Structure 1
Amino acid sequence: MKYVIGVDLGTSAVKVLLMNQQGKVCDEISKSYPLIQVQPGFNEQDPKGWVDKTTEALSELVRKFDGDTNDIEGISFSGQMHGLVLLDQEGNVLRNAILWNDTRTTEQCRQIYECIGEKRLLEITKNQALEGFTLPKLLWVKQYEPEIYHQADVFLLPKDYVRYAMTGKIHSEYSDAAGTLLMDVAKKQWSGEMCELVGVDVTLCPPLVESSECVGEITADFSVQTGLAKKTKVFAGGADNACGAIGSGILSEGKTLCSIGTSGVVLSYEEKNDRDFGGKVHYFNHGEENTFYTMGVTLSAGHSLSWFKDTFASGEEFDTVLKGVANVPIGANGLLFTPYISGERTPYPDATIRGSFIGMDSSHKRIDFARAVLEGITFSLNESIDIFRKNGKLIDTVISIGGGAKNETWLQMQADVFNATIVKLSSEQGPAVGAAMLAAYGSGWYDSLQACAEVFISEEKSYKPITANVEKYALLFDVYKKVYNQTKELNEELKIFRNH
């Protein structure tokens, strides 16, 4: 039996997954690492911590493996997007990595628009300038840490740095590079025009390869540290959302993914590079060669539910907090929640907006609030689906993964709000499976990622929309969409009273 390993480098932990040729998960190990917050809005990590914990996890995986390590043919990666790692000419890390959820770069986003203009930016990168992207971080370092910037020889994204530590080879790949604001997404190359306009030397950008491309083998030193065979092939991998899509079978036109983690993502497959969403959703290169995906983001999806539990039901399990939620009628007895507790991304790129409970009265119980939170998160995700449909996309089936796939009531709610069939997968490992699939395909086990998906992915259950519920939710969604504009000015006035 042959095996591959998928490495998912997340924001709070790294997960390594061992899978065999039958698509079975044979083992998984997770190791956590800390977030470094030097001041509000600044989110950083030590890249060495990623490497150390990945090495630990792989070493533990190999120790527990009772087969021949020569049968572990390949390893590939999924990684948190947009993070900035700067290396000098000797390959040394120059500063902590600045992460995707860092919000210090509002000024640099404005500078990008001033240099390029929104229209040309969208033509080249297909995305708006947002604080989370890599280019604003690079410009922040150039402006505020010039001595570090001038030492920089290349920048890498998080998973690309871990792969570099394993192989000694510097690369990035298209799905992650698409989230930097420095790549021409349609042409699949670094944009010399973008680099020139913002004053960044294009030589800082690493060479680009396909996600399934073998970029080398692990070094002798890394083989000793982990116990992996020296001939273990290393494949480029993909951005976490691209790998999540691959690991959920989003590999053909019409396939859509809803992933509810800390943030929430609605991601839809695109065969071509020419669809125009006017920057309302993200438009990235897929991990499958010469394909793309569009994506809307709810900043605080699962985070809204976690915040509610921690604030109003501290110490209780999620199952307890949500017990009886199915018995609360649609609309939570007239209570509406907007999940803008950390600002919002799609369709409102707004760092100032904040969440609301609207319609509270003395008859409401905690379970009504819980229902309203689930509905509000789902409405926010539906804003992305609404954008897709208004731009001509057919969305009739949605694969649901993450926290939203763990509760039957929530799955049916998604079917009713999205007015689409919701599919729950039988085994859900998300981006780590996608990374393993890239290694399996790259190792020649299958002639396409779709053929790999037929073995690695299976459906457990589906939920059909209920017509009466669809009609009620359509009315409530119309109310929900009014809240942003009617609370925007209020939140701007309240900003001076926030302590962060």
Structure 2
Amino acid sequence: MINQQRYTIGVDIGTTSTKAVLYQEDLQVVDSTYVGYDIIQTEPGMAEQDPKAIFQAVLSVIRTLMEKDTSIKEKVDFISFSSAMHSVIVIDEKNELLTNCLTWADNRSTELVTQLKANTDWKALYQKTGTPIHSMTPLSKIIWLKEYHPAILKKAKKIIGIKEYILYQLTGEYKIDYSLASATGLFNIHELAWDQDILKLFGIEASILSEPVDVTYRWPAIQEKYADEMSISAATDLVIGASDGCLSNLGVGAMNPGETAITIGTSGAIRMVTNHIVLDTEGRTFCYYLSKGRWVIGGAVNNGGNVMAWLTAVLYPEGSLLVDNGVETRLEQLNRLAEIIQPGAEGLYFLPYLNGERAPLWESQATGSYIGLAAHHTTGHMVRAAMEGVLFNLHDVWQIIQEVGGLSKTIKVTGGFLNSPLWKQMIADIFGRPMQQPTSFESSCLGAVLIGKDSEETAEQTLLQENRVLVEGITESKIWMQPNQPIVEKYQKIIPTYQKLAKEMSNVRKVLSETN
């Protein structure tokens, strides 16, 4: 019998790697692969990447999937793309690179952002764009380039992001999806267009930016030379897709009122989907476009698993430790030590702002600290306090989201921290909600494919409607951890103290900045 199975590919262009997943029509995973790459940091605040290396990573992951089974080359209906937000690349008249890719983590514009917030009605900008004013945004990076590298901008034909760069190579067209555009600080989310007043205010020509299109936009072909490099048919459709955070919500099935998605990888984010634009009067939350009639509100934090990586390197710089049952990794050792410490770490608190902070502070120059450290505190206390600090910080963002977006009833979580049972139980206890781990694989890749399936429809949008049974089946979650009520109540008493300390330490940081 001839195999009539059709396939799709979801590609997620991330900060540390590009991942690709091959799916069957029923969204079952056939295969997956990834390619990693480095961050370039040669000066304080710098966080750049080589766009050409990332493009080669995209070609490589798709080629790897195709070469494992050459018979499916003509059976892939489309490739759909997810991408990290807030990147900036400057392109010249010959469509060549004038800069590397400035990632979201590049915060060299911090001082200029401080000036911007002091000298403009920044809340009015936020109300138009849904993007908090911060060094992460393309707006801030363009302001920085204007101030310190005006010669580069004089040569610029286009200012784009990493997904735009990759899709230009594959199609020859500069387009940006509404989702990524809504995270630039330049895009009016009410009109779904570049905001002409903001562009005029900062001296940016609309022609230098890509054409905004909906997330379902597709190209009917790939440039042949790159199709050959990927071992795929040039007639394969490309779907522009959306941003990684928005697609992650879709991929884990956190799409209904009261469903919150939390991702903790190197950094972290907490998000909720609404059916209308929701903005915070203080500009503390983002509101990004997902699809027609669906918006993702939330906050991203700079400090997640990277806090544990830092603490592990500080406490155990020599590598794995030998314990009674064999070789135990440094991180496993720290988790084991933290497990025996009571919630609250016996009065030890940790503010996790090691890498500055986005939500809830939106303070690029924030620094971390231990508070309440005493002689009786051990390594386990320090680890427990650090883990709690990361989650307390996310809890603060969660409370703000509920203020503007409504009550959160369930929490679906993704990210590398799920390898730790302690992290998972702490999520349930600190948030006081059942912690669910979706069974879907690589949620942003799956979300990209779901967007692609939606773009195949000829009638009205059917995202999570006609495909509801299929989607809910693939994103089905099971409850891994129930909150332990006595510990929930204990954390409810501890969290206000953390919040007071976080507020007081902002004054301490001001004193430190004045003396350094």
Alpha-carbon distance between aligned partners in 2 of 1:471 and 1:171, rounded to the nearest angstrom = 50
Cα separation, 1, equivalents of 2:59 and 2:405: 46
Structure 1 329/257 Cα, relative in aligned 2: closer, same or farther at 3 Å? same
Q: Secondary structure at the match of 2:478?
A: strand
Q: Give the letter aligned to residue 122 of structure 2.
A: E
C-alpha separation in 2, matches of 1:469 and 1:160? 47
Q: Does 1:307 align with 2:320?
A: no
The one-letter amino acid of 2:131's match is N
Is 1:26 paired with 2:13? no
For structure 1, the residue ranges without an aligned partner over 5 or more in a row are none
Say whether the 8 Å CA contact 2:126–2:133 is kept in structure 1: no
- Cα separation, 2, equivalents of 1:104 and 1:434: 32
The alpha-carbon distance between structure 1 residues 340 and 276, as it changes in their structure 2 partners (threshold 3 A), is: closer
SS in 1 for 2:492: helix
In the TM superposition, what whole-angstrom CA distance separates every residue of 1:175-208 from its partner, at most 9, and x where no partner exists?
A: 1111111001122111011101111111112111
Q: Which amino acid aligns with 2:210?
A: P
- Alignment of 1:289 onto 2:302: no
The whole-number CA distance in structure 2 between the counterparts of 1:275 and 1:140 is 26
Match among 474, 479, 488 for residue 492 of structure 2: 474
Q: CA deviation at 1:495?
A: 4.3
Q: Is 1:44 aligned to residue 62 of structure 2?
A: no
Q: 1:92 to 1:494 in 2, by over 3 A?
A: same
SS across alignment from 2:345: coil
CA distance in 1, matches of 2:116, 2:510: 24
Distance of 2:395 and 2:209 partners within structure 1: 36
3-state DSSP class of the match of 2:215?
coil
Distance 1:143 1:118 in 2: 19
Shift of 1:149: 0.8
Report the aligned-residue RMSD.
2.1
The alpha-carbon distance between structure 1 residues 423 and 321, as it changes in their structure 2 partners (threshold 3 A), is same
Distance in 2 (alpha carbons) for counterparts of 1:63 and 1:115: 56
Distance 2:381 2:57 in 1: 41
Structure 2 Cα separation of the partners of residues 414 and 173 of structure 1: 33
The corresponding residue for 1:195 is 199
Match of residue 343 from structure 1: 356
User: What secondary structure is seen at the aligned counterpart in 2 of 1:236?
Assistant: strand
Among 147, 150, 162, the alignment partner of 2:154 is 150
2:424 aligns with 411
Deviation at 1:111, TM superposition (A): 5.3
Select the residue among 344, 355, 361 that pairs with 1:331.
344
CA separation in 1, counterparts of 2:471 and 2:119?
43
In 1, Cα distance between equivalents of 2:305 and 2:197: 38
Q: Equivalents in 2 of 1:120, 1:6: separation in Å?
A: 36
- What's the counterpart of residue 60 of structure 2? 56
CA shift at 1:497, angstroms? 7.9
Instruction: Write the distance in 2 (CA, Å) between the matches of 1:71 and 1:16.
Output: 16
Moved more, 313-322 or 117-126: 313-322
1:211 matched residue in structure 2: 215
Determine the C-alpha separation between the residues in 2 that align with 1:109 and 1:72: 45
Residue 387 of structure 1 aligns with which residue?
A: 400
Q: Report how far residue 150 of structure 1 moved.
A: 1.9
Between stretches 162-171 and 424-433, larger displacement belongs to: 424-433
Letter in 2 for 1:281: T
Task: Give yes or no for contact 1:313–1:321 (8 Å, CA) kept in 2.
Answer: no
CA 1:405–1:444: 2 relative to 1, 3 Å: farther
TM-score (norm 1): 0.94
Residue 449 and residue 170 in structure 1: after superposition, are their counterparts in 2 closer, same or farther (change >3 A)?
A: farther
1:252 aligns with 2:256: yes
Aligned residues: 497
Q: Is the 1:112–1:198 contact (alpha carbons within 8 Å) kept by the matching residues of 2?
A: no
> Matched residues in 2 for 1:34 and 1:377: separation?
25
Structure 2 unmatched runs, 5+: 321-328
Equivalent residue, structure 2, for 1:104: 108
- 1:57, distance to aligned residue in structure 2 (A): 2.0
Residue type of the partner of 2:299? Answer: G
Partners of 1:404 and 1:152 lie apart in 2 by 41
C-alpha separation between the residues in 2 aligned to 1:381 and 1:403?
16
Letter in 2 for 1:470: V
1:412–1:114: structure 2 CA closer, same or farther, 3 Å change rule? closer
Give the match for residue 13 of structure 2: 9
Deviation, structure 1 residue 66: 4.7
On the 8 A contact 1:13/1:32 being kept in 2, the answer is yes
Residue equivalent to 2:482? 464
- Rounded Cα–Cα distance in structure 1 between residues aligned with 2:280 and 2:209: 27
Change over 3 Å in CA distance of 1:59–1:391 after alignment to 2: closer
1:130 is the counterpart of 2:134? yes
Q: What's the offset of the Cα at 1:83?
A: 0.7
